[in-house]
A and B are shown apart, each in its own frame.
Chain A
Amino acid sequence: EAGVVQSPRYKIIEKKQPVAFWCNPISGHNTLYWYLQNLGQGPELLIRYENEEAVDDSQLPKDRFSAERLKGVDSTLKIQPAELGDSAVYLCASSLGVRSSYNEQFFGPGTRLTVL
């Protein structure tokens, strides 16, 4: 069974340019997470989807970040415009999303973004 797929794996852009990351979760997983992992830090949740609904986006910097999961399957995270401080690894994770139950999160390999 395929795991969480993310692309691209690496991206280098100049500041003020837009960038987008794509995530395809494990088949059948209803919940999808986007995390930000700065160098030397643990992952921090940016946004969580249950199916196509963003149920927790409190940590998403909405002035420049946006995300969508239109059909409740794959998802795109966008930054426009990118800033130097956005250089980090962007992780996607998914889980079954069974309510009131333990749901193990499965992580993708991440997209490493470098903003010059």
Chain B
Amino acid sequence: AQSVTQPDIHITVSEGASLELRCNYSYGATPYLFWYVQSPGQGLQLLLKYFSGDTLVQGIKGFEAEFKRSQSSFNLRKPSVHWSDAAEYFCAVGPYNTDKLIFGTGTRLQVFP
């Protein structure tokens, strides 16, 4: 079965601290992986995507993610979190044309000053 697991429902970090959000997937075909961010009252915004090649991908707002096929993981990282990063983060997996995205349940990030 195709699925995405985000084991952390809620994470709290101090501003300036590093961040890692976990994502594990199960997908029968070649996985194309995505991270989205959803701020309160806003739609989802694409942070980054992985299709192939270099397993470390860079995204917007200083985020990066690393694809590890052996662990079926695609964890999101940021070296130094800003208060404006407080939001809900969703990992997703799907086909190349993104017509059938499967989202995880999300991780809510809270940032303390």
Interchain CA distance A4-B101 in the complex, whole Å: 18
Interchain CA distance A106-B46 in the complex, whole Å: 8
Interchain CA distance A104-B99 in the complex, whole Å: 10
Q: Mark B31-58, 1 if CB is under 8 A from A, else 0.
A: 0000010000111111001010000000
Q: Which B residues contact A (CB, under 8 angstroms)? A: 4, 9, 36, 41-46, 49, 51, 90, 92, 96-101, 103-106
| With A42-B4, A100-B97: A91-B44 Cβ-Cβ less than 8 Å | yes
A104 touches B46 (CB 8 A): yes
Residues of A within 8 A of B41 (CB): 9, 109
Residues of A within 8 A of B105 (CB): 40-42
Number of interface residues of A (CB under 8 A): 27
Interchain CA distance A48-B41 in the complex, whole Å: 23
Chain A contact residues: over half helix, strand or loop, or mixed?
loop
A8 within 8 A of B: no
The 3 closest A-B CB pairs, nearest first, are: A42-B103, A107-B43, A107-B44
Residues of B within 8 A of A56 (CB): 99-100
Q: List 25 A-B contacts (CB under 8 A).
A: A3-B43, A9-B41, A40-B105, A41-B105, A42-B90, A42-B92, A42-B103, A42-B104, A42-B105, A43-B101, A44-B103, A45-B100, A48-B99, A56-B100, A91-B44, A93-B43, A93-B44, A100-B96, A104-B46, A104-B98, A105-B46, A105-B101, A107-B45, A109-B43, A110-B43
B43 touches A102 (CB 8 A): no
A87 within 8 A of B: no
Interchain CA distance A101-B44 in the complex, whole Å: 21
| With A107-B44, A108-B43: A42-B106 Cβ-Cβ less than 8 Å | yes
Interchain CA distance A91-B100 in the complex, whole Å: 15
Q: Which A residues contact B (CB, under 8 angstroms)? A: 3-4, 9, 31, 40-45, 48, 56, 91, 93, 95, 99-110
Interchain CA distance A4-B106 in the complex, whole Å: 22
Choice from B9, B43, B46, B97 contacting A4 with Cβ under 8 Å: B43
Interchain CA distance A98-B39 in the complex, whole Å: 28
